[in-house]
C-alpha cells in the first residue's frame, strides 16, 4: 500500500526546480544558441522515434504506389519520356551556353564558376511546432549533410538545413518567421531581402523604397549574397505591390514558387565544387542520374 | 519508476510521443490532441508516487526536440500543467470521468497558452484561434484514454 502523503521533495519545490531549468534552457538555446552541437546529438537520439512515427504513412505510400493500374503507369511513362526529351534538348543547349560563358569569363579573366554538388533527400513528414515552419528529412551527417546547406524542390528554393543529426536533419523553410533570404529580381537585378511571414504562401520584403522598380509577377531568384544560397535559383514571385505614400516604404509581398505545402522529394546543394565532375557541360544528365542514384 | 511493471508507464509515454508527431492529413492536423499531456495526467492521478513533475518536464523536453521548438518551451508548459494535477490529484480522482474531461480541457488550454506566450516572448508569432483546437479533441479523448489506461494498469498490476 502506498502512503497517501508523499515523502520526498514537495511538488512546489520540484516545480521551481524545473521552471528554473526551463528558463536556463530557453535563455541558452534561444539567446546564446549554445546548444547547436547538442541539438545534433539530440536529433540523432530521437530520430528512431521519428522514423517509427512516419512508418504508417510510409506504408500507405508504398501501398498506394504498388496498387496502380497499368494504364496509369503507361501514361506516366509517356509524360516522363516527353519530359526527358525536352530536358535533354535543354541540356544540349546548356552545354553550349556554358562553354561560351566560360570562354567569355576567361576573356574577362574572372574565375570560372564551379559545379554544385547535389544530394537527393526525402521528407519524413512528422508533425512540427505550429509556430515555426520546419520539416525533417532522411539525411544526416552520415550522408555528409552540414548546417546551412541550401534545400530546393523541383520548382525552387525551399529552405536551409537547421540542425543535423546522424541520420535525419531539420530544414527551416523560407516562410519561417525567423528566416530571411537575399534575392534579386530576375528582370532588372534589383536586390531585395525576402523575410518569412509565418504564412505558407507569403514572403515579405521590407525597406524597399517607393521608387524601386518592382512589378507584380516579377520572378525573384537567389542573389548569392550572404554565401548561404547559391546564385540564380528561383525563390518567389511578386504578388502584391502597394505604393502607399503615407508609409515610409512600399509594401511588397511575394509567393514562394516551391510547393512548400506539398514537399516530398528535395535536393540538397553543397557549395564545394566537386572534383570528379569535370567542368564540361556535356555530362550534366549523367551527374543528375548519379545524384538520384545515391538515394 | 521501474518496479512493479513500471516500464509499461514508459511504454505508454513513448507511444504518446510517437502519436504526437505522426503525420496526419492537413484538415485534421490542427485538431491533434495533446497525447503526452493526457497520458501524463492519467499516470499522475493514478500513481503520483511514480510519475511527477520531473517526468513531465523530461517528456516536454523530448517533445521540444521532436517538434524543433526552442528547448524548454514545451517542458515548462508541461510541468506547469502537471503541477496542478499533482497538487490536486485527490480531488480530481473523485470527480466523474466527464468532469475530469473538462478539467483536462482547462489544463490543455493552459498548456497551449503557456506555449504560445513563451513563443510570443521569443519571436513575434500572432495568435490564431486554431492553436486552441486541440483542447476540444483532448476533452473528447480523455474518457477513452482514461478507460484504456485504467485497464492497462489493472492488467499489468502497476502499483
Instruction: Write down the CATH number for the domain with range A180-257.
Output: 2.40.10.350
Q: What is the number of structural domains in chain B?
A: 1
Min Cα–Cα distance to chain B from A22, Å: 5
pLDDT in tens, A4-27: 555 567 888 889 999 999 999 998
Nearest to A6 among B48, B62, B72 (CB): B48
For residue B70, being part of any structural domain is answered with: yes
The residue ranking higher by pLDDT, A95 or A37, is: A95
pLDDT in tens, B12-24: 999 999 999 888 8
For residue B2, being part of any structural domain is answered with: no
**pLDDT score of A288:** 39
pLDDT in tens, A132-181: 888 999 999 999 899 889 999 989 999 999 889 888 899 999 999 889 99
If you average pLDDT over each of A107-111, A116-120, B59-63, B68-72, which comes out highest?
A: B59-63
Sign of CA dihedral B45, B51, B52, B54: negative
Q: Do A53 and B122 touch (CB under 8 A)?
A: no
Q: Do B14 and A126 touch (CB under 8 A)?
A: no
The residue whose grid cell reads 512589378 is: A215
Query: What are the residues facing A208 on neighbouring strands?
Result: A250
Residues of B in contact with A19 (CB under 8 A): 76, 79-80
Residue of B nearest to A28 (CA): B71
Min Cα–Cα distance to chain A from B69, Å: 6
Q: Do B68 and A42 touch (CB under 8 A)?
A: no
SS (H, E, C) A106-140: HHCCCCCCCCCEEEEEEEECCCCCCCCCEEEECCC
Q: What is the pTM of this model?
A: 0.79
Domain ranges of chain A: 180-257
For residue B72, being part of any structural domain is answered with: yes
Residue A287 has pLDDT above 80, yes or no: no
Grid coordinates in use for A75? Answer: 501514361
For residue B1, being part of any structural domain is answered with: no
Residue A95 has pLDDT above 70, yes or no: yes
Reported ipTM: the value is 0.85
Amino acid at each position: 500500500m502506498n502512503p497517501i502523503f508523499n515523502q520526498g521533495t514537495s511538488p512546489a519545490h520540484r516545480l521551481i526546480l524545473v521552471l528554473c531549468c526551463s528558463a536556463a534552457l530557453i535563455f541558452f538555446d534561444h539567446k546564446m544558441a549554445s546548444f547547436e552541437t547538442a541539438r545534433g546529438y539530440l536529433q540523432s537520439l530521437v530520430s528512431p522515434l521519428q522514423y517509427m512515427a512516419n512508418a504508417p504513412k510510409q506504408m500507405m505510400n508504398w501501398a498506394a504506389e504498388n496498387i496502380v493500374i497499368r494504364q496509369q503507369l503507361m501514361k506516366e511513362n509517356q509524360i516522363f519520356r516527353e519530359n526527358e526529351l525536352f530536358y535533354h534538348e535543354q541540356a544540349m543547349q546548356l552545354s553550349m551556353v556554358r562553354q561560351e560563358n566560360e570562354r567569355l569569363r576567361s576573356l574577362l579573366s574572372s574565375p570560372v564558376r564551379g559545379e554544385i554538388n547535389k544530394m537527393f533527400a526525402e521528407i519524413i513528414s512528422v508533425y512540427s511546432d505550429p509556430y515555426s515552419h520546419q520539416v525533417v528529412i532522411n539525411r544526416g551527417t552520415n550522408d555528409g549533410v552540414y548546417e546551412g546547406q541550401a534545400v530546393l524542390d523541383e520548382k525552387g528554393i525551399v529552405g536551409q538545413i537547421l540542425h543535423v543529426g546522424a541520420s535525419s536533419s531539420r530544414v527551416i523553410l523560407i516562410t519561417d518567421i525567423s528566416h530571411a533570404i537575399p534575392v534579386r529580381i530576375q528582370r532588372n537585378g534589383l536586390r531585395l531581402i525576402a523575410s518569412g511571414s509565418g504564412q505558407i504562401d507569403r514572403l515579405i520584403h521590407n525597406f524597399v523604397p517607393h521608387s524601386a522598380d518592382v512589378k507584380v509577377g516579377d520572378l525573384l531568384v537567389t542573389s548569392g549574397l550572404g554565401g548561404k544560397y547559391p546564385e540564380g535559383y528561383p525563390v518567389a514571385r511578386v504578388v502584391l505591390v502597394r505604393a502607399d505614400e503615407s508609409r515610409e516604404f512600399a509594401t511588397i509581398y511575394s509567393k514562394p514558387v516551391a510547393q512548400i505545402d506539398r514537399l516530398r522529394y528535395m535536393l540538397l546543394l553543397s557549395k564545394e565544387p566537386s572534383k570528379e565532375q569535370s567542368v564540361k557541360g556535356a555530362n550534366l544528365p549523367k551527374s543528375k542520374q548519379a545524384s538520384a542514384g545515391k538515394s | 519508476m521501474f518496479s512493479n511493471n513500471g516500464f509499461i508507464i514508459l511504454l505508454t509515454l513513448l507511444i504518446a510521443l510517437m502519436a504526437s508527431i505522426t503525420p496526419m492529413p492537413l484538415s485534421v492536423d490542427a485538431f491533434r490532441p495533446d497525447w503526452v499531456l493526457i497520458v501524463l495526467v492519467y499516470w499522475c492521478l493514478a500513481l503520483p508516487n511514480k510519475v511527477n513533475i520531473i517526468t513531465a518536464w523530461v517528456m516536454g523536453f523530448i517533445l521540444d526536440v521532436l517538434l524543433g521548438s526552442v528547448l524548454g518551451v514545451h517542458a515548462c508548459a508541461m510541468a506547469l500543467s502537471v503541477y496542478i494535477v499533482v497538487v490536486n490529484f485527490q480531488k480530481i480522482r473523485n470527480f466523474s470521468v466527464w468532469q475530469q474531461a473538462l478539467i483536462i480541457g482547462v489544463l490543455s488550454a493552459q498548456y497551449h497558452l503557456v506555449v504560445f506566450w513563451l513563443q510570443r516572448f521569443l519571436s513575434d508569432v500572432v495568435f490564431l484561434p486554431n492553436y486552441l483546437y486541440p483542447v476540444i479533441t483532448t476533452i473528447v479523448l480523455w474518457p477513452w484514454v482514461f478507460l484504456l489506461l485504467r485497464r492497462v494498469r489493472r492488467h499489468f498490476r502497476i502499483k
